[in-house]
Homo-oligomer: A and B are copies of this chain.
Amino acid sequence: MRAFLIIGNKAVTKPFKLNDLPGAGRIDILCRCVAQALFVSHGIRRDVEVYLLLLGPPEPPKAVKITGYEVRRMSPDERNIAGHLRKALSFKADENWREVGSGVYISKKGLVDLLEELSKRYEIYYLREDGRDIRSLAKSMRNPLFILGDHIGVKGEDEEVVMRYARELVCVSPLSLQADQCIVIVHYELDRI
């Protein structure tokens, strides 16, 4: 299994307009991350889970989980994925995962709750530009989960939490890339092994 956790620092926690995804706290970034984590040509990676942590108004935090082995009727365009997220945000969320569509879940979990749960099943890696080269680490990874920030990155207090759970800092490029591009490269390096 592989997993990705993307932190949306401003991503809204209520249903939003599909015609302005950047204006919904950069939900567009999260949609692209979901697409790049789950899709290949004409198919879905069934061995992938995606976690989105939404920290924007009005009711942060909320977490969305999408499982590649269960998800249905999703296509890789931003608007389609945004529709799934908007639907998920229309349901009441509590501390447990609630399935709101095939393979799409919502909860009120925050970063600590998420990492407490996920660290039992995954090796946690934190993607940061000063980390170790993914190419030298990929071979040794078993059930990795990669944590990424959005355009803002990962804020100080959240980074402290992440560092408590992270096995290693990982770098994926000599350039500073967008989160979805990092996901493509992580998959690529793991696929080559």
Which residue of B has the minimal Cβ distance to A193? B174
Does A178 lie within 8 Å of B76, measured CB to CB?
A: yes
Q: How far is the CA of A75 from the CA of B78 in the complex (A)?
A: 14
Which candidate, A33-41, A55-63, A95-103, A139-147, is the interface stretch facing chain B? A33-41
Which residue of B has the minimal Cβ distance to A76? B178
Q: Knowing A174-B191, A174-B192, A185-B184, say if A78 contacts B77 (CB, 8 Å).
A: yes
Does A151 lie within 8 Å of B36, measured CB to CB?
A: no
Which residue of B has the minimal Cβ distance to A22? B77
Say how far A167's CB is from chain B's closest CB, in angstroms.
23
Residues of chain B within 8 A of A185, CB atoms compared: 184-185, 188
Q: Does A21 count as interface, using CB distance less than 8 angstroms?
A: yes
A to B CB contacts below 8 Å, 25 in the list:
A19-B79, A21-B79, A22-B75, A28-B77, A28-B78, A32-B32, A32-B35, A32-B76, A39-B178, A40-B175, A40-B176, A40-B177, A40-B178, A41-B175, A41-B178, A42-B151, A42-B176, A77-B78, A78-B78, A79-B79, A173-B192, A174-B191, A175-B191, A181-B184, A184-B185
